[in-house]
Structure 1
């Protein structure tokens, strides 16, 4: 029966698109990850806030470089679309944002994001979420995007609401953190929603 429903995004569409750069307000830039950004992945594990809310992997510098290469492969495999948040004037990444758990056939994906202290307070995550949302709906053709976060993470809740992702509900015991199971808020936007 599912074969009778055409895919929302045909296989191969994302892989055929180059991963774009996007200028953000406040002198920040979204761009593909580069090898010299690998130290940001190492640093993400060392940051207690990122480690608590995002559960990054501990990586050696060599493992981080391999992961940067894997991010390019995930784009080509149409499994994830992940950008570096970096200063527009140049320099290494200060954050990560993108869409994972991509279901092109079903037309959906889930945001993931974090910022190192050097990138915080600039509004970059909200601006980046809004810009990637526009790309995902208009260029890629997805229909639904979601953001989930612990109910104890008000900063992530603020990002979601400011970027136009209304709260849909609470998922009980949805994610295991270092301090135990957390209920998670579920926010989502549809391509048909009014502009944020």
Structure 2
């Protein structure tokens, strides 16, 4: 049964080009992950807050390298797009990503984490804002951002990056300490 509406983003329009490097602020970059970043991922997931909010552990370099390969496959398959958020000097601060990219509908979900030592510097909102601008430039129409209602820091990132709170999804996502209600934020393309 043929669709009446063409895909919002043409298949192949992302993966046919190299994943870009983007400026996210005066001394911040978003760049593709590389295997050399594996120790930074292991460091990030040593933090109990990162493990709580993301529901996973990454305890070894091999696990981090496997995760990086998953990030790379996401770009090739146009199902996700993940960047290392770094200083221009090369320090990895965290991750900013699109997951669940839906080319047909032009929708994706923003995800991020910051290493414990990098929090509170304004890098996360800057990275999310830069990623959002890029996403709208390639044709994404609607960006979703969901986080536990208990994660006040993540809520501040969403607000600073311009995401409107649309509601609460009750008992929506399991975490290590049980089911959490989730704030549902969204940002719509200005185009």
TM-score range, shorter chain: over 0.9
Alpha-carbon shift at residue 16 of structure 1 (Å): 1.6
Aligned positions of 1:174-193 closer than 5 A: 174-192=172-190
Aligned positions of 1:67-86 closer than 5 A: 67-86=67-86
Aligned to 1:108: 107
5+ residue gaps, structure 1: none
* TM-score scaled by length of structure 1: 0.91
Between 1:141-150 and 1:50-59, the stretch displaced more is 50-59
* TM-score scaled by length of structure 2: 0.94
* Structure 2 residue 53 is matched with structure 1 residue 50: no
Alpha-carbon shift at residue 165 of structure 1 (Å): 0.4
5+ residue gaps, structure 2: none
Higher helix share: 1
Partners of 1:165 and 1:63 in 2: CA distance: 32
How many residues align? The count is 191
Runs of 4+ in 1 over 6 A off after TM superposition: none
* Structure 2 residue 54 is matched with structure 1 residue 64: no
Aligned to 1:98: 97
Kindly report the root-mean-square deviation, in angstroms, between the aligned alpha carbons of the 2 structures. 1.6
Distance 1:99 1:173, change over 3 A: same
Distance 1:181 1:14, change over 3 A: same
Aligned to 2:156: 158
Partners of 1:66 and 1:179 in 2: CA distance: 26
Distance 1:171 1:94, change over 3 A: same
Alpha-carbon shift at residue 46 of structure 1 (Å): 1.2
